[in-house]
Chain A
Amino acid sequence: MSVSNLLENWSQVRHAHPVDDKPHDPYKWAMAIDLDACTGCNACSVACFAENNIPVVGKERFQHGQQMHWMRVERYWDEDGREFPDQGFQFLPMMCQHCEAAPCETVCPVAATNHTADGLNSQIYNRCIGSRYCSANCPFKVRYFNWYDYPTDEMVWPAEMTQQMNPDVSVRSKGVMEKCTFCVQRLSAAKVTAKGEGRIVREGEVQTACQQACPTGAISFGNLVNPESRVHKQWEAQQVDLVKDKQEKDESDEKAVLRGYRILEELRAYPSVMYLERVRESAV
């Protein structure tokens, strides 16, 4: 893409989704995370490391804020006056929210992060120049910068470990930003299979690594456009609408437990991840 082409199509590169003339069809990948089921075991995070060739940076760099975990489990402590052993905490798995109007996309000087047709917030390592503006503008702080050349200089993966790396995912070098991709390598493999058979990807045909590893099934992932998908049903049942920045819920049905929400919705980033609020008392 030449510079003139880029400038000519600037409005397209900065396209905020969804819009009326370009609906998500046939795919819109989305997620729902049930915080009531989450036990904070970090299996999702480990699975993500294994799937996406993420370097383990070590304790010292972690303390410097140079951690690389695309999927992190945040802890929130209740402030209800209880002391430590009894003071339970709540967990919240946090990864790139794949916002429809992503704040990171608008600020990238080289358009290295932009939207794909199926509603993913893509990150192109080869185009990234490492300005880190996207990370500064991300309200969820889910973008991670390669401060070091982990694969070569740092030898994060010694020779005997290179065989365990995922060949479908690039190994990132120094100076590029990276983040959760919703396991795009699995999505495109599933799409190729489906397209070859002349259909769209079926519900359950594709899983993200975190979803696959979650022992309690707290994470569900799928095609929001497909009315048969679990994600679509969950979003609908919780009356969470992708295109709204403030959910108006009809609470007339007393049986319905409405606990779906999206994080920092008021910022109008339109995230693609819905969380289901915890209902039980925090873990003790």
Chain B
Amino acid sequence: MYRFLRFPILLVGLFLAVSSFAANNPQPALTTEDALGPQVVQPIEFPHNRHAGLRNPADPTNSDPLKGGMEINCQYCHTYARRSAVAGIPPLQKCIGCHQSIESVRNKPRIVELFKYWDAKKAVPWKKVHDLPDFVRFNHERHIKRFVEQQDRPVQEACGYCHGDVKEMTVARRQKPLSMGWCATCHEKDHPVVAEGGTPIAGQAYWYSFQKPVAQDKSAVVKAKGPNDCWQCHK
């Protein structure tokens, strides 16, 4: 009896089970262990911490490589970030440009490896760590212009919004999910769009056109959200 009802009841039951499960499980927190990218094996284990890390105050001559960094600006090597869509990987010339006159580390295995590429006149085949899908249009220049040039934030902080604390890493590893939802968490925030003195930060007026009314807090700082129309980032 009622055999014909079995399958629909099963379906309804399944739906209820799945939907109750879904309702109790909101989206996972955005920065979890899962957000970590794969460990990318590079041809040379490049020590970001040694180059960009903070100096060790107890060691003014910076002689111990295990203890302090050189505080080199990210943009010294990743020089294209401020003027093009991609940050770029420095050419081998840039590495050699410094290292040919740093005799103290010349015989370290990684530097020997580096000079092998140089003598063979071959580029180091670095692997990509932060790889966005092909349908995404991301522009480094806009973000550097906004945060570093217009708002005068420290370079490592601005880069770190997406790349994590690279100065603590050796080989860089992806720290943030770099998913659309993650990008949107920042683009949905109210950011100040008027610099001190009331000058609008270049060309951001058009942000308003697709936005809710501009938020204005007690400090009378005009704020708006980042660009959020689909074609801003999607090809």
* Interface contact B141-A192, CB-CB below 8 Å: yes
B205 within 8 Å of A (CB atoms): yes
Q: Which of A68-76, A113-121, A255-263 contacts B (4 or more CB under 8 A)?
A: A113-121
* Interface contact B206-A22, CB-CB below 8 Å: no
* Interface contact A22-B203, CB-CB below 8 Å: no
* Interface contact B135-A116, CB-CB below 8 Å: no
Q: Which 5 A-B pairs have the closest CB atoms?
A: A198-B202, A117-B210, A116-B229, A117-B209, A122-B231
A15-B210, A117-B206, A117-B210 given; 11 more Cβ-contact pairs under 8 Å: A12-B210, A25-B206, A26-B203, A116-B229, A122-B229, A124-B230, A167-B134, A168-B235, A185-B137, A188-B231, A195-B145
Question: 1/0 per residue B182-207: CB within 8 Å of A?
Answer: 00100000000000000000110111
Chain B residue with Cβ nearest A169: B235
B-binding residues in A (CB < 8 A): 1-2, 12, 15, 22-27, 114-118, 120, 122, 124-127, 167-171, 181, 184-185, 188, 192, 194-196, 198-200
B56 within 8 Å of A (CB atoms): no
How many angstroms from the CA of A170 to the CA of B139 in the assembled complex? 16
* Interface contact B209-A185, CB-CB below 8 Å: no
* Interface contact A27-B206, CB-CB below 8 Å: yes
B110 within 8 Å of A (CB atoms): no
How many angstroms from the CA of A200 to the CA of B231 in the assembled complex? 18
Measured between C-beta atoms, what is the minimum distance from B27 to chain A in Å?
8
A residues near B139, Cβ cutoff 8 Å: 192
* Interface contact A25-B205, CB-CB below 8 Å: yes
How many angstroms from the CA of A23 to the CA of B208 in the assembled complex? 10
Chain B residue with Cβ nearest A24: B209
How many angstroms from the CA of A114 to the CA of B231 in the assembled complex? 10
Measured between C-beta atoms, what is the minimum distance from B148 to chain A in Å?
13
* Interface contact B205-A170, CB-CB below 8 Å: no
B residues near A170, Cβ cutoff 8 Å: 134-135, 234-235
How many angstroms from the CA of A196 to the CA of B234 in the assembled complex? 20
A-binding residues in B (CB < 8 A): 27, 85, 134-135, 137, 139, 141-142, 145, 184, 202-203, 205-210, 212, 227, 229-232, 234-235
Measured between C-beta atoms, what is the minimum distance from B145 to chain A in Å?
6
Chain B residue with Cβ nearest A188: B137
Which of A25, A27, A188 has most chain B Cβ within 10 Å?
A: A188
Given contacts A116-B229, A125-B135, contact A192 B142 (CB under 8 A): yes
A residues near B212, Cβ cutoff 8 Å: 12
* Interface contact A168-B137, CB-CB below 8 Å: yes
* Interface contact A126-B141, CB-CB below 8 Å: no
Partner of A120, one of B137, B202, B231, B235: B231
A residues near B209, Cβ cutoff 8 Å: 22-25, 117-118
* Interface contact A198-B229, CB-CB below 8 Å: no
A residues near B145, Cβ cutoff 8 Å: 195-196
B residues near A196, Cβ cutoff 8 Å: 141-142, 145, 202
* Interface contact A118-B230, CB-CB below 8 Å: no
* Interface contact B206-A26, CB-CB below 8 Å: yes
Given contacts A116-B229, A168-B235, contact A198 B203 (CB under 8 A): yes
